Structure 1
Amino acid sequence: MSTVTWLLTSPRIPAGLLSVEAWDALHEAEAVAAFDESPTVEAVRDAGIDVDLVEDAAEFLEAGGVWIVGEEGDEELREALAEYVAGGEIELDIVYGSWDPPGARLLDLVEAVARLHAEDGCPWHRAQTHATLGPYLLEESYEVLDAIAADDPDELREELGDLLFQPLLHASLAEDFDIDDVAGDLVEKIVRRHPHVWGDADPEDLYRHWNEAKAAEKPHRDHPADGVSRQLPSLALAAKVIERFEDQGEALDLPELPEGIKVEAADVGDFLLAAVAAARAAGVDPELALRRAVTERAGLEPLETPGPHVSETIEHEDAS
């Protein structure tokens, strides 16, 4: 009975970075074979070990040895081996030469996006710009929120993938940086803003550490609302601007509710809905009106180029 060592490796790990068990099996084997050339085959040869490339593995199976599994998994041979093992004709030993690290499939995604943008890739993707892809980033973000609200794990998994696709596309289009720059900057920021994790800072002060790190990173910001996205819908923009002023301990000139009106937490939704209805009855677009009020009271510069939410309302107003 022959013994076949089924050597599995990850194509996402540099060839030659094999486990000690794998190298021992290769050095001790009387025969090493594979179907095709591969980086792993080349690395094994560079280590002074002969590797036979065969079209038909029958003779190898009869004699035994180490089989270097190809990147596609050598499915047909694996099925044949299972039958031989079940019939008691072959003893099979599975050795893992390397494993995919967590996040390894992200490398596949990077490669897939690069393929889309290659000269012989997808014409639609090659024609896109940061500006034309912008609305998709917003749309995918909302679809993730829909999946969260629906408490649907399968839907959330899919929508997170669609959202993850967007930064890869933008990074692939960029001329001054790539996805590694994006990821590297993010890792540095995460470490810098969590000294209680990557350091000996007191976790009780994590909020202070976070704000101090942000202030050090953005010394040019001198307005409480600097850094708040002006593309936010006006209601989210208003809430964020108020929060930033409160964080800075500065007073924002906010309008008072009409005398006698007190809004309880349970009634806020109805109150806002009534305000929207009142705005429409007055012939005013509530989105633009609230944005204008926030901008003026917070002393922000008006947007020169409206975002998607603003442009939609402007188009609607022009059409009417």
Structure 2
Amino acid sequence: MTLDPHDDLIHDPKGGMPRLLEIMRRLRHPETGCPWDLEQDFSTIAPYTIEEAYEVADAIEREAWGELKGELGDLLFQSVFHAQMAEERGLFSFDEVADTMSDKMVARHPHVFGDESNEKSPDQQVADWEKIKAAERAAKAEKGVLDGVAMGLPALLRAVKLQNRAARVGFDWPSTDEVIDKLIEEAQELREATDPDHAEEEFGDLLFVMANLARHMKIDPEQALRRANAKFTRRFKSIEAALEARGKRPEDSDLAEMDALWDEAKAVEKAQKSARANGTQPESNS
């Protein structure tokens, strides 16, 4: 086998970004690359990109700082993979991706990289940011208020972004009271749904209003649901542990027993939370 002149770089533990780019190039080499990597295209890699972004968010949520470096590396590799495929098609290179982002950040921060004063409030900065993004959308011929909100976003996140866009032009409820009234209305319509299609439609409407309520309350609905998922997982594991201590498994139990164990787990969590708030015991690692 003929040695590649870049072998030293590939095996250099301090090779940094050039090393990663060269590894990706070799993985996609049409003659000596990895069959799996060669088989991929933008559409097949996109789901992995989304998954890696969520794993970054998960590590941050768990404050698993030892894992975060690796998760960020996995996410970076996704960008490198897409850029390599784009370069093979003559579309753009990784350097052009980096330059495009750098240009965007400089343009969107004239108070840092330009002549504007940086003595402005966070709210003013958000308003200025939106003006700049509106100008960028106009340059792309995105004329509609909702144009440019990516279809591939998670549904709850996209709902919030659509509602934020509409709110900027005045299409919004004035307070959370009206949103909660609408929530009650949608829940009743779901209760009255007469067939599966109707039920799905009303359920979607209910979720959409829930996203709007989160926006009005300045709550990230994705994060709120992730935390609810984590809480459910934690408490259900407590049920499993308690049943195991009794020589049983969940399938050997019934709803009444598991519900009672759920209440016990909930009470323990509340007591621990209260104790932590009062400074009487250290934060639990569970």
Q: Give the TM-score band, short-chain normalised.
A: 0.5 to 0.7
Query: Secondary structure at the residue paired with 1:109?
Result: helix
Seen in structure 2, the aligned counterparts of structure 1 residues 142 and 278 have a Cα distance that, compared at 3 Å, is farther
CA distance in 2 between partners of 1:211 and 1:179 (Å)? 27
Task: Check conservation: 1:234, 1:287, Cα contact below 8 A.
Answer: no
Aligned partners of 2:152, 2:206: CA distance in 1, in Å? 10
Higher relative contact order (CA 8 A, sep 6+): 1
Q: How much has 1:71 moved relative to structure 2?
A: 7.5
Alpha-carbon separation, structure 2, partners of 1:287 and 1:141: 30
Within 2, Cα distance between the matches of 1:286 and 1:227?
Answer: 24
Distance in structure 2 (CA, Å) of the matches to 1:234 and 1:252: 19
CA contact (8 A) 2:56 2:71 kept: yes
- Structure 1 residue corresponding to 2:137, chosen from 189, 212, 218: 218
Distance change (3 Å), C-alpha of 1:261 and 1:161: same
How do residues 217-296 of structure 1 correspond to structure 2 at under 5 angstroms?
217-219=136-138, 220-246=141-167, 248-252=168-172, 257-258=180-181, 283=196, 284-285=199-200, 289-290=204-205
Superposition TM-score, scaled by structure 2 size: 0.55
Matched to 1:140, the amino acid is: E
Alignment check: 8 A CA contact 1:193 1:213 kept: yes
Residue 105 of structure 1 corresponds to which residue in structure 2? 16
1:188 equivalent to 2:100? Answer no
Gaps of 5+ in 1: 1-37, 40-69, 74-99, 263-271, 295-320
Q: State whether residues 183 and 206 of structure 2, in contact with CA within 8 Å, keep that contact through their aligned partners in structure 1.
A: no
Deviation at 1:217, TM superposition (A): 2.0
Aligned counterpart for 2:61 among listed residues 134, 139, 149: 149
- Count matched residues: 188
SS in 1 for 2:112: coil
1:132 maps to a residue whose letter is T
- Asked if structure 2 preserves the Cα contact closer than 8 Å seen for 1:137 and 1:163, the reply is yes
Identical aligned residues as a percent: 34
Note the C-alpha offset of 1:228.
1.5
| Secondary structure at the counterpart of residue 197 of structure 1 | helix
Please report how far the alpha carbon of residue 293 of structure 1 lies from its aligned counterpart in structure 2 after TM superposition.
6.8
- Looking at secondary structure, tell me which structure has more strand per residue: 1
Contact conserved, 2:84 with 2:94, CA < 8 A, in 1? Answer: yes
Over 3 Å counting, the alpha-carbon distance change for 1:279 and 1:238 in structure 2 is farther
Q: Are residues 126 and 212 of structure 1, via their aligned partners in 2, closer, same or farther at CA, if it must alter by over 3 Å?
A: same
Deviations 1:41-90 (A, max 9, x none): xxxxxxxxxxxxxxxxxxxxxxxxxxxxx9899xxxxxxxxxxxxxxxxx
Alpha-carbon RMSD: 4.0
Aligned counterpart for 2:127 among listed residues 187, 208, 212 = 208
In the aligned structure 2, how far is the partner of 1:122 from the partner of 1:202? 51
Could you tell me how far apart the structure 2 residues matched to 1:72 and 1:259 are? Answer: 58
Residue in 1 that maps onto 2:81: 169
* Residues 199-257 of structure 1: per-residue CA shift (max 9 Å, x gap): 121221432332232222221222222221222232222211111222x2331589854
User: What amino acid is aligned across from residue 118 of structure 1 in structure 2?
Assistant: H
CA contact (8 A) 2:10 2:22 kept: no
1:117 alignment partner in structure 2: 28
Partner amino acid for 1:210?
W
Which whole-Å CA distance do the structure 1 matches of 2:192 and 2:155 have between them? 14
Instruction: Give secondary structure in 2 for the equivalent of 1:224.
Output: coil
Which secondary structure does the structure 2 equivalent of 1:239 belong to?
helix
2: CA distance, partners of 1:227 / 1:171 = 22
Structure number with bigger Rg: 1
- 1:291: how far off? 9.8
Q: Is the 8 A contact 2:28 2:38 kept in 1?
A: yes
State the Cα distance separating 1:173 from its structure 2 match: 0.4
Residue ranges of structure 2 left out of the alignment (5+ in a row)? 210-286
Matched-pair contact (CA < 8 Å) for 1:147–1:155: yes
Q: Which amino acid aligns with 1:249?
A: V
Instruction: Name 1:46's counterpart in structure 2.
Output: none
Indicate how the Cα distance of structure 1 residues 260 and 226 shifts in structure 2: closer, same or farther if over 3 A, else same. closer
Name the residue aligned to 1:20: none
C-alpha distance in structure 2 between counterparts of 1:172 and 1:291, whole Å:
42
CA distance in 2: counterparts of 1:139 and 1:163, whole angstroms: 9
**Which residue of 2 is the match for residue 199 of structure 1?**
114
Residue type at the aligned position of 1:161: G
